[in-house]
Structures are given as structure tokens and as C-alpha cells.
A = this chain, B = another copy of it.
Amino acid sequence: MSINRPVNIGLIGAGRIGSFHAQSVARRLVDANLVAIADPAPGAAEKLAAELGAPNAYTSLSELLANRDIEGVVIATPARFHTNIVVEAAEAGKAVFCEKPMALTLEDADRAIAAARAGKVPLQVGFNRRWDQAFAEGRAAIDDGKIGSPQLIRSLTRDPGPFDADPAKIPQWTIFYETLIHDFDTLLWLNPGAKPVEVTAVADALVRPDFADKGFHDTAVVTVRFDNGSIAVAEANFCAMYGYDIRGEVFGSGGMVTMGDVRRSSMTLFDKNGVSNDTWRRDTDHFVHGYTAQLAAFVEAIRTGEVTGPTGEDARNALAIALACVGSVSERKTVKLIN
């Protein structure tokens, strides 16, 4: 555990998760410097840079990429900009950490992967469950053969309610591209070596039924069959009134692992209403240590050139399932995946 030369990081996109990642770089990682922030919104980069002591704030991406001190970038813009920024950053020779989804089409995914390869830069993607202690232990148990061959898999994401976003401002298919993409990566990661062959998805607007006929979905259930026979169900909902609920389950020929608990800690209250626990209410609380580990791995990837976290290929594989979901819901049928 030696101390290394600090790595210089630039943040692109100073929104909610971008600000959190900037804090992680500046405040939770000893061997990374936050040297610049770029955001087109007037004052946004400047304000965050001032708070975190980052020396540079830009409103344009090109300025940030032109900064030769920066070795790696953290991309946390709206999803539709991700691919282009990955490509530009890779062309500028920067290591890239890109929030999920890295791309919204397979062509874009391929373009991002190719750019990173051409630029010889590490490309890591933001799938949070891989960095969670419980999920990592689950994967280790599977690797150790403790549950045999996976047969039934479950992964779910339920975002904490109340749901107060404006459905009109949420791009169609967000539940697949941005929410369930986590679960699709989880299904793939917890089913090592298996390839998805068939996807059936249903989606609806149950939280905001008034937007059901506007193409908005806040609830979805997806069934995925894999080439090893295993059958997986991924499930999402935008409004869990009890908190941020992230769970996984892998049942196999020899046993099962389950991961995830919405309870925040072991502190349990017993009173006249019964027994109770507080819950996780935000991803940045639940995954605070996981998100830090994720960026620490990115810092290490910058140093070594080796990506140990999820790669551009992983992002592409999860996206392929999300795209199949879109097809399945649109055409109301099962979609086969060509591997």
C-alpha cells in the first residue's frame, strides 16, 4: 500500500452525480487531484470548482480536453452526450471514466470502444453494484462454485420515492437505458460466461399513470434467457416509498446467494409500533464507499493502463439487453439476441 504520484482528473458535467464524483476525487481519494471541471451551464463549473478547490473551471469541453495536465476525465453529463465525449476525450489522450449508459446504440458503443482502443486509453464504465461489498462477495461465492450453475437470477432497482420529477422531461426508454442498465450489467456479471439469447420486457406508467399514453415508463419487468439455460428477471420502479432498494439473487444447482438490504445499518428500534429499521434513501449514501472504490480503480487504471472495473465491452453487453427491451416493449414480443 504505497503512496503514488497523484493523478490529475477533470470532471465533465457538474450535475448531481458529477458533483458527487468530483467530491470523491477531491475529498475521498488521496492520490487524485481534481484539476478542472467543465459544464456548459453558466457558473456551474465555477461554483463547484470553488467549493472543491479545483483550479480550473470551463464552460466548454474542448477547453478541458486541451488542458494537458489532465490525465483522466470523469464523464457525468446527460446520457445522450456520453459517446461523443468518450470519443473526443480518448482522441485527446485522456483516460475515460464514463457514467452509464456509455452509449444508446450499438454503433455508438462500438465507436466509443474503438476510440479508446485507438487512443490507447483506459475506458471504464459506471456500474455501481460491482463495487458494493455484498455484491462483490456474491460474485466471489459464485466463482468459488458455492451455488453451482446459475439457474434463476434476479436483479432489481427501485429508486426512492416520492417521485417528483417531471415525466415530460424524461427521455423515453430511460427506465431501460439508465435504470435497468445497472441490472443488465449485474445479470451478466453474476452469470459469468453466459450470453443472453432472448429478452421479453413489459413496461408501464404505474407511478404516473397520467403519462402512460405519452410513452413514459416508470415500472418495468424484464425476462432474459441465457445460453447456459439460466433465466433472469430484472425489475425497476421509480418510486419506492421506503427507500433506495437494490437487490440481487442468484439461484443455482447447488444453492443461492442473495445480496442487498434496504436497511441502513444494524441499528434496530423496538417500540410500541414493533421493530423497525431506517433505510437507504439515496444512491450516494448507499454506495458511498462503492463509488469511492470505483474511482480509486479508475485512478489505478490511469496509472497502470489496465481497466479492472467494467469496460466499454461490458457497457455494450448491457446496452444490447436494453435495446432488446425497447424492441420487446415496442413490438410486444420476445426479442432474440444475436451474439
Contacts and interface: CB of A to CB of B under 8 A. Distances in A.
The residue among A161, A202, A265, A332 with the most chain B CB atoms within 10 A of its own CB is A265
8 contacts: A26-B30, A29-B30, A147-B269, A241-B272, A242-B270, A255-B272, A256-B269, A274-B277
Given A229-B204, A242-B274, A259 B255 contact: no
Nearest to A263: B275
B257 A219 contact: no
A133 B279 CA distance: 13
B206 A223 contact: no
A273 B276 contact: yes
A226 to B, nearest CB: 11
Interface string A90-121: 00000000000000000000000000000000
A260 interface: yes
A243 B28 contact: no
List the 8 shortest-distance A-B pairs measured between CB atoms, nearest first.
A255-B271, A3-B53, A242-B270, A137-B267, A261-B266, A276-B276, A134-B265, A256-B270
Contacts of A27: 1, 3, 30-31
A237 interface: yes
The residue among A240, A245, A270, A334 with the most chain B CB atoms within 10 A of its own CB is A270
Interface of A: 1-3, 23, 26-31, 51-53, 133-135, 137-138, 141, 146-149, 151-152, 158, 161, 200, 202, 204, 206-207, 209, 219, 221, 223, 225, 229-231, 233, 235, 237, 239-243, 245, 251, 253-279, 289, 332-334
A137 B264 contact: yes
- Name the prevailing secondary structure of the A interface residues: mixed
A270 B253 contact: no
B279 A274 contact: yes
Nearest to A205: B229
Contacts of A332: 334
The residue among A200, A257, A266 with the most chain B CB atoms within 10 A of its own CB is A266
A278 B217 CA distance: 34
A259 B267 contact: yes
A147 B206 CA distance: 14
B274 A243 contact: yes
A277 B279 contact: no
Contacts of A31: 27
Contact of A333 (B2, B276, B333): B333
A152 B221 contact: yes
B257 A267 contact: yes
Nearest to A265: B134
A76 B305 CA distance: 38
Nearest to A138: B267
